[in-house]
Amino acid sequence: MGAFDELAKEPGIQHIMPRHEQGAVFSAQGLSRSTMHLSEPQTGVCMATSGPGALNLVTGIADASMDSVPLMCITGQVSTRVVGQDAFQESDFIGTTMPFAKQAYMPLHAQEIERSFHEGLHLARTGRMGPVVMDVPKNVLGSAVPFDYSFDYTGYKPHLPGYRLRLKPSAEELERAVKLINASERPVIICGHGVRLSRSGQELLKFARQIGSPIAFTLHGLSAVPSSDPLSLGMAGMHGSIQANRTIAGADLIIALGCRFDDRLTGKASEFGRQARILHVEIDASEIDKNVQAALGIQADIHHLLSALLHRDDLKARKRRDWWKVIDQYRREMARIDERDLKSGVGPNGKLLMKRVIAELSKFTRGNDLIVSDIGQHQMTTARFYQFEKENSWFTSGGVGTMGCALPMSIGVALGRPDEAIWCIVGDGGLQMNLQELGTLMQYGGNIKIILLNNGRLGMVKQLQTFGFAGRYAAVEMQNPDFGKVSEGYGISYARSEKVTEISFLFSFAKKQRGACLIEFVCDPDELILPMIPAEGSYSDMITER
């Protein structure tokens, strides 16, 4: 409480009080994620009390670690004199978060707090970004120490001899990379989160155009460059497009930029890219050769790497017309399947299809609004059918895949980009995992339009049971509340529809509302999001149609 007493004296610090600590950590994530493309990105800070308060942050901290999101998480701890005695609300929070926090501090003297805070912020924001934890004992937090207010922390870099950042590729690495690229006939670029984090979208497009290469995207790579660009193949991986997956499977060179080759991208790793040599560029050296063996691995910042390659006179300009003819065939196959489903917009039972709702949202916004998605079928549907035209406009949980993240994350996005429209895409399962954050939204406001795709199911679980368990369904059906009454209780505008003809009208209705609103679409409980690579399967096992 002493910390909040001091915060109340600082008019320049805005405190947002969520309804649950998980709401706090995902709101802080939203602030960090939404400003990463700016010249001066912000780092989200969240605070929690000791014991249960701190432990409720754990999922969000692990999520930030997997997705390379900078955070500063400050928690309370019991007094040092009773640490280890199982005191009231004591927990080993340092031990709990050590596996996934980039750094964890427990200052034992008040003089250590200032150094730990600024050192921690530096670590969170540099290299492979991630969450930093500061667990402060009660007696340390309550101590009075002198503070030098005249010290300017602008550009501050702490002295950390063991923390060495390698941002630029060597001349030898660049030469080897150019030889690999020039020798290839069927290259493909995989654009990962690192391209967005390094603000390298424009450099990526210049590079891809010069070498004549298509671009496939990881889940977090989306919105690095416009989806409408002719070089874009859309998302690759488990629920990726036919053109992205088959292009990767047929490539003779895979240029992976800022991605970690997780299983959702590769499928069965031993079968991934078997025809290709792999050029893997990552700022985190531990990710190189971890899941997929690279012909050349380079530890570097993507911006530095692409800038250096673009200045090479020996990097050949190529058109690769034969390769693009093959890719265009893949595109036509995907377009045929998508067009069939999108045309009617309903399933065999006459219920709305999520993909039609998302495709119409993309058309309505022209791809220029901010999109936050929860986890499930609606997440993969949004990744496939929304056309992201604005840089850094797509936010979701990837590595951990935390259901319930979207609503609080949207609140943080609204803080980071208050003048932009935000669409929060949720399912009926995920929304109810942090439903209480509607209270935070009610109190603090935000231009957030919640699109609830309600199929009365945990749709992704049901889909996995369809293919993996012979259609034996368990623990998927949901009995839901009246979301209209829930919205009314929180003072949020609400509308509901089951009809294709009303989709665009309800988007217009939502846009006209001042502040937040919730639009519920009743969707087909049997809809599948395809293509799909089955669990433990490879790209050759991709299921394209029901």
Q: Which residue has the tokens 């101590």?
A: 143
User: Measuring CA to CA, which residue among 98, 258, 271 is closest to residue 189?
Assistant: 258
What's the pLDDT at 231? 99
Helix (H) or strand (E) run with residue 483 in it: helix 483-489
What's the pLDDT at 439? 98
Distance CA 142, CA 253 (A): 58
Distance CA 252, CA 188 (A): 8
Non-local CB neighbours of 113 within 8 Å, separated by 6+ positions: 107, 134, 136, 140, 141
Burial 208-219 (b: 16+ CB within 10 A, else e): bebbbbbbbbbb
Distance CA 204, CA 302 (A): 9
| pLDDT tens track, the chain, 546 positions | 778 888 888 888 889 999 999 999 999 999 999 999 998 899 999 999 999 999 999 999 999 999 999 999 999 999 999 999 999 999 999 999 999 999 999 999 999 999 999 999 999 999 999 999 999 999 999 888 887 777 777 777 888 988 989 999 999 999 999 999 999 999 999 999 999 999 999 999 999 999 999 999 999 999 999 999 999 999 999 999 999 999 999 999 999 999 999 999 999 999 999 999 999 999 999 999 999 999 999 999 999 999 999 999 999 999 999 999 999 999 999 999 999 989 999 999 999 999 999 999 999 999 999 999 999 999 999 999 999 999 999 999 999 999 999 999 999 999 999 999 999 999 999 999 999 999 999 999 999 999 999 999 999 999 999 999 989 999 999 999 999 999 999 999 999 999 999 999 999 999 999 999 999 999 999 999 999 999 889 999 999 988
- 248 dihedral zone (left: phi>0; alpha: psi -120 to 50; beta): alpha
User: Measuring CA to CA, which residue among 379, 373, 378, 436 is closest to residue 410?
Assistant: 373
**What are the CA-CA distances from residue 338 to residues 330, 529, 541 (Å)?**
13, 11, 19
- As given in the structure block, the two tokens for residue 541 are 């096992």
Domains, the chain, ordered by start:
2-141 (3.40.50.970), 171-327 (3.40.50.1220), 348-526 (3.40.50.970)
Helix 21-34 and helix 406-416, axial crossing angle in degrees, nearest 10: 50
Q: Give phi and psi for 375, each to the nearest 5.
A: -110, 135
What's the pLDDT at 1? 74
Contacts 24+ apart (CB under 8 A), 318-327: 318/210, 318/211, 318/212, 319/212, 320/185, 320/186, 320/187, 320/212, 320/213, 322/185, 323/185, 323/186, 323/187, 323/212, 324/212, 324/214, 326/186, 326/247, 326/250, 327/214, 327/233, 327/243, 327/247
- As given in the structure block, the two tokens for residue 49 are 């009390």
What's the pLDDT at 290? 98
Half-sphere exposure of 55 (CA within 13 A, CB side): 8
- As given in the structure block, the two tokens for residue 151 are 């010290």
Distance CA 213, CA 68 (A): 27
Contact 140, 113 (CB under 8 A): yes
What's the pLDDT at 83? 93
**What are the CA-CA distances from residue 400 to residues 397, 425, 532 (Å)?**
7, 18, 19
Report how far apart the first and last C-alpha atoms of the chain are (Å, whole number). 56
